[in-house]
Structure 1
Amino acid sequence: MKLTFLGTRGYIDSVTDRHRRHTAALVGYRGRALMIDCGADWRREVWKVKPHALIITHAHPDHAFGLQDGAPCPVWATEESWQTMADWPIEKSLRHTLRPRRPETIEGIRVEAFPVIHSQKAPAVGYRITAGRVTVFYVPDVVWIEDRAEAFDGIRCYIGDGASLDQSLVRKDKDGNLMGHTPVRAQLTWCQKEGVAEMIVTHCGEQIVGGDERTLGAQLRQYADERGVKAGIAHDGMIRILR
């Protein structure tokens, strides 16, 4: 599996050369390319990426609004995300629905959507993605992963939410529902509990993008070492070959 981090910036104002575009990734396998998410930064730019297919985690602006002018390829999303994208000029023949916990093979890559807690207005999923012998779990925005043990079972790597390194951004809406982002430190504990060897941090928030990444990287490694997990911060254009 070839994993390319096209963008690694969350829905924030800060921009750097390392974190310039909204979070998106490209999964490559046997000459096919599956793009994950297409935020507003990718509007019109997605045609240059030339993915063979797209999957959407949820319909927030930094994850789906790059498709407001249409799509260059088939798009897979949950029913909830399609409700938000219903009036966008995406051809009917390109629209496909992903149902939670029902795996689909897209361009030779196996994809399974797992519901996660993040937003009531834009219900989100994380994706368990398998290419050949390699499986990863990708979730850029998360408070909690439903069925986490199944989601993490046997994965090579966890790619998770970098909105905050160690400051909780979890809150409750007016109805008492949890929303927001769990800090990376807690996500590393998830990896520890489920026996996942590595976490890659993406969807970076103000603490990372607006801070001293060297210092924060050292703090991240300390948190990871304490839990017996390897961890690093992704940046735009970073490529990982996973075997």
Structure 2
Amino acid sequence: MKLTFLGTRGYIDPTTSRHRRHTSTLVSYRRRRLMIDCGEDWRQKVHDIRPHAILITHAHPDHAFGLQEGSPCPVWATAESWQAMDDWPIEKEQRHVLDKRQKTDIEGMQVEAFPVIHSTRAPAVGYRITAGRVKIFYVPDVVWIEDRNEAFADISCYVGDGASIDENLVRRDKHGNLVGHTPVRTQLTWCQKEGVPRMIVTHCGSQIVAGDERKVGAKLRAYAEERGVDAEVATDGMEVVLR
């Protein structure tokens, strides 16, 4: 399995050459390409990626609005996300509903959607993806993962939410529901508890994008070493091969 981090920036104003485009990742296996998320700054550029299929984690602008003018390939999303994308000009035969906790074969890879807490307006999922012997879990926006022990079982890499390294961005909405983003520090603890050896940080927030790269890197390494996890921040264009 090869991961190509097409974009790694969250829904923030700051940009750099290393974090320029909205978060999207291409998962490649046996010449098939599965694109996860297609935010608004991928509009009209998604055709250049030539994915065989697109997965949507949730229908926020930086994860789905690149499809508002249509899609070059089949799109897979949960029923809740399709409700938000219902009037977009995506051909009927290209629309596929992905049931939660149902293992589904997409382009030769097994995909399973796990509900996560992030937003009440745009319910989100994370994806457990299996390609051959390699298993990963991918979730760019998260407060909490339901059935985390099953989501993380026997995975070699967790690709998680980089909105914050250690600042608390979790809050309650007017109905008392938790929303927002859990810090990387806490996500590394999840990896420690579930025996996941590696974390790659994407969907980077201002603490990473606008911060001092050396200081941010040192802080991340310290948190990771304390928990016995290898960790790194993804950058636009970065490629990682997992075996």
2:83 corresponds in structure 1 to: 83
* 1:215 CA drift (Å): 1.2
What stretches of structure 1 of length at least 5 have no aligned partner? Answer: none
1:218 corresponds in structure 2 to: 218
1:158 corresponds in structure 2 to: 158
Moved over 4 A (4+): none
Q: 1:27-82: CA deviations, max 9, x gaps? A: 00000000000000100000000000000000000000000000000000000000
2:96 corresponds in structure 1 to: 96
Counterpart of 1:126 in structure 2: which amino acid?
G
Counterpart of 1:47 in structure 2: which amino acid?
H
1:35 corresponds in structure 2 to: 35
2:193 corresponds in structure 1 to: 193
2:24 corresponds in structure 1 to: 24
Matches within 5 A, 1:19-168: 19-168=19-168
Q: Give the whole-Å Cα distance in 2 for the aligned partners of 1:214 and 1:7.
A: 21
Matches within 5 A, 1:10-21: 10-21=10-21
SS for the counterpart of 2:58 is coil
Q: Give the whole-Å Cα distance in 1 for the aligned partners of 2:103 and 2:212.
A: 40
Q: Give the whole-Å Cα distance in 2 for the aligned partners of 1:213 and 1:92.
A: 45
Counterpart of 1:231 in structure 2: which amino acid?
A
What stretches of structure 2 of length at least 5 have no aligned partner? Answer: none
Q: Give the whole-Å Cα distance in 1 for the aligned partners of 2:172 and 2:24.
A: 27
1:174 corresponds in structure 2 to: 174
Task: Return the TM-score normalized by structure 1.
Answer: 1.00
Task: Return the TM-score normalized by structure 2.
Answer: 1.00
Q: Give the whole-Å Cα distance in 2 for the aligned partners of 1:78 and 1:143.
A: 19
Counterpart of 2:219 in structure 1: which amino acid?
Q
- Most deviating of 209-218 and 67-76: 209-218
Q: Give the whole-Å Cα distance in 2 for the aligned partners of 1:144 and 1:233.
A: 20
| 2:232 is the alignment partner of 1:232 | yes
1:183 corresponds in structure 2 to: 183
Q: CA RMSD in A?
A: 0.3
Q: Give the whole-Å Cα distance in 1 for the aligned partners of 2:170 and 2:44.
A: 33
- Most deviating of 214-223 and 178-187: 214-223
